[in-house]
Amino acid sequence: MKRTLDILFERLAIFVSASTLLVALFSMAIQVIYRYVFNDSLVWSEEVARYALIWSAMIGAAVAYRRGDHAAVVSLVARLPAALQVITARAVHLTIFGFSAALTWYGWQLTMRNFERNQLSSALEIDIAWVNLAIPVGGLLIMIAAIEGMFAATKAHEGITAI
């Protein structure tokens, strides 16, 4: 199971997050060049950058959470007895699971409503639901990482780094 999760997060999710970030940066660079070199503006570049950043942030947040690269306050937890460190780590993962479950649920509802309405973006004229799909996808990945974190927090040192 760990190998499957490693492939999902360390290969697929990182690839999607990095690729969409590169698309956003490229789009912004082209916009700057067009604006200041050619004294013109690209209508679509801001939308591409915004939508790519949404996807990059949602997928990247899941990867960062799984790796433990997110912001954490561990000084208080480090002072607790080992058993309480594990309980605290599991409680944190459970809380994050609950939040990401709500994010996934409401993000999915928003996405489905947008698919039903066929709402298009103004410049690119793509279905806005494809952009909103980043919310439930990212939320689902965070849920998976939280479940993995709850099971991994069996030793005191793992509990600390997982918070």
The domain locations on the chain are: 2-161
Q: How many whole angstroms separate alpha carbon 124 and alpha carbon 13?
A: 25
Amino acid at 94: L
Q: Tell me: the pLDDT tens digits for 75-100?
A: 888 888 988 888 988 999 999 999 99
Q: What is the pLDDT of residue 162?
A: 47
Q: What is the pLDDT of residue 155?
A: 54
pTM (2 d.p.): 0.85
Q: Which residues of the chain have pLDDT under 50?
A: 156-160, 162-163
Q: What is the pLDDT of residue 156?
A: 45
Q: Shortest CA distance to 89 belongs to which of 9, 6, 146?
A: 146
Q: How many whole angstroms separate alpha carbon 105 and alpha carbon 146?
A: 16
Q: What is the pLDDT of residue 2?
A: 82
Which tokens hold the place of 39? 């004294």
Q: Tell me: the pLDDT tens digits for 98-119?
A: 999 999 999 999 999 999 999 9
Q: What is the pLDDT of residue 1?
A: 79
Q: What is the pLDDT of residue 30?
A: 95
